[in-house]
Amino acid sequence: MRTRRPADRASEIARAALDLFVTRGFAATKLEDVAKAAAVSKGLPYVYFKNKEELFKAVITEAIGGPLADASDMVDHFDGSSEDLLRGLVAGFRAFEESPAGGVVKLILAEAGNFPDVARFFCAQFDRRGRDLFIRALQRGVHRREFRTIEDIEATAIIIAQPLAMFSVWKRSLAPYDPTTLLDGDRFYTAYLDFLFKGLRP
Amino acid sequence: MRTRRPADRASEIARAALDLFVTRGFAATKLEDVAKAAAVSKGLPYVYFKNKEELFKAVITEAIGGPLADASDMVDHFDGSSEDLLRGLVAGFRAFEESPAGGVVKLILAEAGNFPDVARFFCAQFDRRGRDLFIRALQRGVHRREFRTIEDIEATAIIIAQPLAMFSVWKRSLAPYDPTTLLDGDRFYTAYLDFLFKGLRP
DNA sequence: ATGGATACTGACCAGTCAGTCAATACGGCT
DNA sequence: AGCCGTATTGACTGACTGGTCAGTATCCAT
């Protein structure tokens, strides 16, 4: 048996690509560097991915494929308080965001204009479904009188989700260059949940 | 007198560049396209900007130069309620965000990794100072007993600012590809202010 | 051991684009 | 009109990179 199988190679290349795409941007990343980072030769990525664009799509879809189903299950079957449900959703997002796949958020936002079909796919699979989770959690809380009544639930769900996405982007872009704030994950999520519940309680 | 003066050309080129950088990304934008969009020849940008990177920096600094001073004045001299002050800050951001210069937020976040010095400049000039405005507004409100006490003012200021930045990015990236939500500015800012004050009142 | 299949390599090609520069158009001045 | 200086052009070049492919290495079955 060989030490490395093709499946490993494909995902090694995809991981290296995600990493470089996130830090440098899609256009500024050379496939040769991807190959180097994955410790393979320049030609090998083309064996597993038809071209650079296909690699991009594969990276995105692979990264967001898994974690959403778990979250959806959680909302469906949760039986604690709605505050705890929101806490659970946020914890789920944090786990995703702090994994290597977390970088896709920044990547997608930066490259949506150049890859309309990837953007549409991401909207349908992640943006929309993710937002629905928050909408359902809010509705549940309002219905059970744990939260105050909310004028515009859909817009509020988006507003609630935005700091999460923004923090993910910020961590990977400006944060390394900002010497003044040392806002780490713990501090951010604590303040976020605090503010969130202050705004939602009756 | 000539119909067009050099100063016009420089800012025409900068405007066209900002537009294309925002929609396509820096690396994916050809200077030839910038020239075409500005209705000049390929060589002219190099008369006014040493190279592509200098053009990038000029675009950024020009775009964020103006609007922050006004906001700072507002916080210093405001004499209404702190809620109205926050409303004023948000309105100021909205005006900036909906101007052509609004695209820099997305641009910076996407390209920070490739232009560390621009990133640092932006952090110092915009990110940090902008955040300070919110911090001061929050402190003012707490001090005057218009807002509840806040555990971590600095983190809360960031969290408050994040939806604004994110909405700006989202509008220019995913929104055009998301057929399900029609979240326009009015609806977003209404829900945002609503949620904001629900979370801040004593 | 030999043949063949699969995994992988890296030199090479063709297209692209940042950046240059000799030539030109134009406006003002005398 | 004729000159001068400034603004502008666009063909060109050199470097770089996406993508190809002929060839090599490695393993397995017979």
Q: Which two tokens stand for residue B84?
A: 């109205």
Q: Which two tokens stand for residue B197?
A: 């004050």
- Residue A3 is predicted with a pLDDT of 47
Q: How far is CA A52 from CA A9, A27, A28, A111, B137, in A?
A: 16, 10, 12, 14, 47
Is B114 in Cβ contact with A28 (below 8 Å)? yes
Which residue from A minimizes the CA distance to B106? A110
DSSP helix/strand/coil, B150? coil
pLDDT at A158 over 80: yes
pLDDT at A1 over 60: no
Mean pLDDT over each residue of chain B, to the nearest integer: 92
Please, which pLDDT band fits residue A38 given cuts at 50, 70 and 90? Answer: very high
> Is B124 within the bounds of a domain?
yes
DSSP helix/strand/coil, A26? coil
Which is higher by pLDDT, B125 or A27?
A27
Q: Is B150 left (phi over 0), alpha (psi -120 to 50) or beta?
A: beta
User: How far is B119 from B10, CA to CA, in rounded Å?
Assistant: 23
User: How far is A107 from A110, CA to CA, in rounded Å?
Assistant: 5
Q: Which nucleotide is nearest to B2 (CA to C1')?
A: C27
User: How far is A190 from B151, CA to CA, in rounded Å?
Assistant: 10
> Is B127 within the bounds of a domain?
yes
> Is A46 within the bounds of a domain?
no
Q: Closest partner residue to B192 among A108, A159, A183, by Cβ?
A: A159
Distance from the Cα of A74 to chain B's closest Cα (Å) equals 24
pLDDT at B15 over 70: yes
> Is A58 within the bounds of a domain?
no
- Residue A39 is predicted with a pLDDT of 94
pLDDT tens for B74-99 read 888 999 999 999 999 999 999 999 99
What is the domain extent for residue A97?
63-200
CATH number at residue A82: 1.10.357
pLDDT at A6 over 80: no
Between A46-50, A123-127, B40-44, the lowest mean confidence (pLDDT) is in A123-127
> Is A189 within the bounds of a domain?
yes
B93 phi and psi angles, rounded to 5 deg: -60, -40
Is A155 in Cβ contact with B183 (below 8 Å)? yes
Contact A67, A125 (CB under 8 A): no
| pTM (predicted TM-score) | 0.92
Mean pLDDT of A144-163: 96
> Is A92 within the bounds of a domain?
yes
DSSP helix/strand/coil, B81? coil
Mean pLDDT of A47-76: 87
> Is A179 within the bounds of a domain?
yes
Please, which pLDDT band fits residue B50 given cuts at 50, 70 and 90? Answer: very high
Q: What angle do CA B87, B93, B94 make, to 5 degrees?
A: 85
Please, which pLDDT band fits residue A5 given cuts at 50, 70 and 90? Answer: low
The total of structural domains in chain B comes to: 1
Q: Which nucleotides of D are covered by protein (CB under 7 A)?
A: 6-12, 16-22, 26-28
How far out from the chain centre does Cα A2 lie? 34
> Is B156 within the bounds of a domain?
yes
Q: What share of chain A is helix, strand, coil (3-state, %, to 5)?
A: 75, 0, 25
